């Protein structure tokens, strides 16, 4: 069981099973959404995902479509602004940022996405695969 929560603790969720490996996304929109150098994105199956507390504080923002659907959608806590898991339309997955997890997980970062939009002040120092744009979705996570 993996637990996660926002900064103020008013929103809590649980995931049965594991989350996917983490993709560090350097896209401009992901940097804006997090305030960080990248968004550490993991997926969790909707089947094992449950909101424990504070679902009413969940707020969603959908950005205008840039190139092609689906739209860029973010969820956050209305109280503290922490990024929260959001459904990926047309799939069986929730996308979450690994920094909000409270439970230790064996999941590791496995690649970098949208490196062409990387912050000028950030240097990638690991040897993980890099993709200039959106990498392909691993076959096992398509649904
Ligand atoms: Zn909060």
> Could you tell me the distance, in angstroms and rounded to a whole number, from the CA of residue 137 to the centre of ligand 1?
30
Tokens of 16: 């049965």
pTM of the model: 0.92
* Check whether domain 2-141 has CATH 1.10.579.10, yes or no: no
pLDDT along the chain (143 residues), means of 10: 97 95 96 96 96 96 83 94 93 95 94 97 97 85 66
Question: What is the CA angle 23-25-26, rounded to 5?
Answer: 150
> Could you tell me the distance, in angstroms and rounded to a whole number, from the CA of residue 84 to the centre of ligand 1?
9
Tokens of 138: 């691993």
Model confidence pLDDT, tens digit, residues 57-96: 999 999 988 877 778 899 999 999 999 999 988 889 999 9
* All residues with CB under 5 Å from ion ligand 1: 6, 8, 10, 77, 79-80
Reference 15, options 127, 105, 109, 91; nearest CA is 105
Domain boundaries, the chain: 2-141
> Could you tell me the distance, in angstroms and rounded to a whole number, from the CA of residue 79 to the centre of ligand 1?
5
What residues are paired with 62 via a beta bridge?
Answer: 73
Q: Would you say 28 and 117 are in contact if contact means Cβ atoms under 8 Å apart?
A: yes
> Could you tell me the distance, in angstroms and rounded to a whole number, from the CA of residue 62 to the centre of ligand 1?
19
Residue whose entry in the numeric block shows the structure tokens 């109280």: 79
């Amino acid at each position: 069981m993996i637990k996660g929560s926002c900064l103020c603790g008013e929103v809590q969720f649980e995931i049965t099973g594991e989350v996917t490996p983490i993709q560090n996304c350097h896209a401009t929109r992901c940097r804006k959404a997090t305030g960080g150098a990248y968004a550490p994105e993991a997926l969790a199956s909707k089947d094992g995902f449950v909101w424990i507390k504070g679902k009413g504080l969940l707020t969603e923002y959908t950005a205008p479509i840039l190139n092609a659907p689906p739209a860029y959608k973010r969820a956050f806590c209305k109280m503290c602004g922490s990024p929260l898991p959001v459904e990926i339309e047309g799939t069986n997955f929730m996308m979450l940022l690994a920094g909000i997890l409270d439970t230790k997980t064996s999941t590791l970062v496995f690649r970098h996405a949208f490196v062409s939009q990387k912050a000028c002040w950030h240097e990638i120092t690991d040897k993980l695969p890099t993709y200039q744009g959106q990498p392909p979705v691993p076959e096992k996570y398509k649904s």
